[in-house]
Amino acid sequence: MLKVENITKYYGDFCAVKNLSFEVKPGEIFGLLGVNGAGKTTTFRMIMGLLEPSEGQITLDGQAISYDITDQIGFLTEERSLLTKLTVKEQALFYGALKGMSNNDILKRLDELLDRFEISEYKEKKLKELSKGNQQKIQFIMAILNKPKLLILDEPFSGLDPLNVELFKQEIIRMSKEGSMIIFSSHRMEHVELFCKKIAIIVKGESVLEGYLADIKKEYRKKNILIKGDITKEALLQIKGVYDVVEKSDEFEVKIDSLSVRENVFKEVCKHQNITKFSVEEPSLNEIFVAKVGEVYEK
């Protein structure tokens, strides 16, 4: 298990991460979310042993992060960090050796991954000859070559087309099923929702919300009601407890500030004709994220 306990990081006088704690168990995909400059990269660097926390500690299966165990951590950054003059095979042999793998194991695993990512024909090609998306696939393959215990994915889908997003997704899910711990960071909340059972939202280096996504959604007071039928936006906005109404292509999304308001909305809607849908929904992660981050900036 990865245990991040009360870590704080100062750059000079500036506090980039403040008293942050979370845990990731084998098989779990954890979403670390925050706006630009929230402290995600700083946190990742501390987990990888590239930066020393000013306070607090990080352990992987009970061992403090050190060069002895960083082999077991795979990392995919937004920035490309490939040796572009090498071929895919040479790059794999280089990275794999750094991770302590034998040449035989590297080549076997490389063939398996190139096949899954549908780029076997590029094995002998130099990286600089590959498209951006294919370079990203190679970078991902390098990060998971030795099946790391812990995999850190920072915006793994940026620049990928939808088909390749799907290939990446399948591999991430496979890694989690095989027992890897995965930390996932993305500005695309719909991706986070797809994968992550557990999340933390950090704002200005501090966690403002942490836990299981299902619990967070259940406990979040604001809900949405989807309504279809002969009713107007104005009529809906007049109901007590409705704080916004979004007009979608063929329905209204009525935003209520607590579940109890549902009764008021239902009574009003019943007065209208041809109502074909009345469905109370949990808010999206995107709505929760915007609200939580907004609260901190409004203070």
* Interface ranges with ligand ATP (CB under 6 A): 11, 14, 16, 34, 36-42
Given the complex with ligand ATP, which of 81 and 276 has the nearer CB atom? 81
State in angstroms the smallest separation of the CB of 200 from ligand ATP.
12
Q: In the chain, where does DSSP find H-type helix? A: 40-47, 67-70, 88-98, 103-116, 132-144, 162-177, 189-195, 213-219, 233-237, 261-270, 285-298
Given the complex with ligand ATP, which of 17 and 143 has the nearer CB atom? 17
State in angstroms the smallest separation of the CB of 13 from ligand ATP.
10
Phi first, then psi, for residue 53 (nearest 5°) are -60, 145
**What is the C-alpha radius of gyration for the chain, rounded to an integer number of angstroms?**
23
State in angstroms the smallest separation of the CB of 10 from ligand ATP.
9
User: At 176, is the secondary structure helix, strand, or coil?
Assistant: helix
d(C-alpha 131, C-alpha 25), whole Å? 35
Given the complex with ligand ATP, which of 38 and 150 has the nearer CB atom? 38
Q: Which residues contact 224 (CB under 8 A, 6 or more apart)?
A: 253, 254, 255, 256, 280, 281, 282, 283, 287
State in angstroms the smallest separation of the CB of 37 from ligand ATP.
4
Given the complex with ligand ATP, which of 31 and 39 has the nearer CB atom? 39
